[in-house]
Structure 1
Amino acid sequence: MSLNSLESFNSYWNYYIELENELLDISKYIPIDKLNKNTFSFKYMKLIFSICSELDTVFKEFMEFKGIYKNQPNMNDYKIFMRDNFQNFSSEIILCNRLNELKPFENWDLNDSSSLWWKDYNDIKHYRTKKENGIENFKKSTQLNTLYALSALYQLETYLYRELVDKYEKNSSLKIPLPQSKIFRIKDWPNNRSLIDDKYLFEFDQIEKSLVFYAPDNLND
């Protein structure tokens, strides 16, 4: 188990930020927008592969951090682990700028079911040229599937970071990793507001779906 401090988390979060920045780079040419949700691209495919591989890695680290060791765990093992330890995990809603709300682990509430975007990822990975309803699987490399995968990684790492803070810095009021995501927030998450040097930097406005910045004179708002 390599997660023995908050600092040990940095390599995971920094990689998340790198993946997010790759998506933001693509958004310069294909804006993140409902109209583009079914747009597919080999750049999305590459990003989906990287994100889902990292999800597998972080789930394993999370299990080991909680003292659970399993040889070659799969998504069903992760589902059981999260259900047993975090009752609300599958029902969390991720606020996504310009796309309103995503629920990446929604289908986990169904028995023997994985998330639809995870199924699409496996179809792309293992049966890329196979056709479903006359459409090749690689065309499932869409903007929406990329956002679902990345929001899932964001949610997982945010949960993990909170657990690390509770173990290693119990008195810390900051329980969200920084630098924060430029795309996602967890809806009604109690730590959406970031506190640094006694100043609230930002909070996600759940109505306007935008970032609100706070100056020192309105910290108590």
Structure 2
Amino acid sequence: MGIYTIILKGSLGYNGGQEDLKLIEFEQKYWNYYLTLENDFMETQRYVSIDENNYITFSVEYAKQYQTICSEIDVICKDYCKFLEPDIKAENIMGYASVLLNHKPDLITRIVKIKTVATVVLNPWCDWKTDNVSPFDRGSEENNSPVWWTYYNKVKHNRTGLDSDNKEFFKYANQINTLNSLAGLFILVMYYYKDIALSESQDNVTIPNPPSRLFELKDWEKQFILFNEILAMNIEKNSLIYND
């Protein structure tokens, strides 16, 4: 359960008009797609519960979702980097790191909580690093990708290959890597959405609507614009609190 502050149309702190268009477009093109990916993952819980004992469970379904999620991370990172640095062309995970980690250094410490499983917390970007001097030097120890991103590339390009322990890379298409990649995408989408809101002078809007059913960010203020007028009718007059 979470408490959300709602900014009703026409209420104090909501400007309305043309400035909403980028937020609406973002929700339509990115947030709704994220929610579809999230729903697909939540469907897997009918068969495999989110639990440490199931983290290494692998399947064709996880492989499909894992690759789809990471592909969307690639899309979001490119677009977000262009938003932050229009003159820089970021094309891969190292390029994304050189832009995003300089603008958003707290990405690597951001914690994702699972609403339905209190014992599981995720820090998907914790091992992402960039070398500010040589951001594209693959030999630099200061350049590092998240482990789940590394395994995504192995699953994508070499799934029948073996690691140093003779484990097939396909088996890394498991629950924990899929979950971490989805949490990583969630963080990026939330940051990007909030920055668009700030650019449109909507500094009190911090999450898309409807909110995630699976995740929430620790220490992230929960405010969104309520566009659904039918839902607005069900909220007590003048109330700005909504219990999820």
Counterpart residue type for residue 201 of structure 1: Y
Please tell me whether residue 94 in structure 1 is matched to residue 112 in structure 2: yes
Please tell me whether residue 152 in structure 1 is matched to residue 184 in structure 2: yes
Q: Which of 30, 34, 46 is the equivalent residue of 1:28?
A: 46
Match in the other structure for 1:105? 125
Match in the other structure for 2:150? 119
Counterparts of residues 63-74 of structure 1 (less than 5 Å) = 63-71=81-89, 73-74=91-92
- State the aligned residue count: 199
Q: Which runs of 5+ in 2 are unaligned?
A: 1-20, 130-140, 227-231, 233-238
Counterpart residue type for residue 160 of structure 2: T
3-state DSSP of counterpart to 1:101: strand
1: distance between equivalents of 2:88 and 2:223?
35
Larger RCO (CA under 8 A, 6+ residues apart): 2
Counterparts of residues 49-88 of structure 1 (less than 5 Å) = 49-71=67-89, 73-88=91-106
Counterpart residue type for residue 166 of structure 1: L
Please tell me whether residue 18 in structure 1 is matched to residue 30 in structure 2: no
Please give the per-residue CA displacement for 1:63-82, whole angstroms capped at 9, x wherever unaligned: 12224344561001111111
In the TM superposition, residue 87 of structure 1 has moved relative to its aligned partner by 2.2
Q: TM-score, normalised by structure 2?
A: 0.76
Q: Is the 8 A contact 1:63 1:69 kept in 2?
A: no
Counterpart residue type for residue 129 of structure 1: T
Q: Which of 23, 33, 47 is the equivalent residue of 1:6?
A: 23
Counterpart residue type for residue 192 of structure 1: K
Q: TM-score, normalised by structure 1?
A: 0.83
Q: Name the % identity.
A: 31
Please give the per-residue CA displacement for 1:177-200, whole angstroms capped at 9, x wherever unaligned: 1211111111111x1355756432
1: distance between equivalents of 2:69 and 2:179?
10
Match in the other structure for 2:171? 139
Q: Is the 8 A contact 1:40 1:140 kept in 2?
A: yes
In the TM superposition, residue 127 of structure 1 has moved relative to its aligned partner by 0.9
3-state DSSP of counterpart to 2:183: helix
In the TM superposition, residue 131 of structure 1 has moved relative to its aligned partner by 1.2
In the TM superposition, residue 32 of structure 1 has moved relative to its aligned partner by 1.7
Q: What is the root-mean-square deviation in Å for CA atoms of aligned residues?
A: 2.0
Q: Which runs of 5+ in 1 are unaligned?
A: 203-212, 214-221
2: distance between equivalents of 1:59 and 1:68?
13
Please tell me whether residue 200 in structure 1 is matched to residue 217 in structure 2: no
In the TM superposition, residue 30 of structure 1 has moved relative to its aligned partner by 1.2
Relative to structure 2, which stretch is displaced further, 134-143 or 83-92?
A: 83-92
2: distance between equivalents of 1:166 and 1:193?
13
In the TM superposition, residue 114 of structure 1 has moved relative to its aligned partner by 0.2
2: distance between equivalents of 1:80 and 1:72?
8
Please give the per-residue CA displacement for 1:76-124, whole angstroms capped at 9, x wherever unaligned: 1111111211121111111124252111111114711100000010111
Counterpart residue type for residue 98 of structure 2: I
1: distance between equivalents of 2:37 and 2:65?
7
Q: Is the 8 A contact 1:193 1:200 kept in 2?
A: no
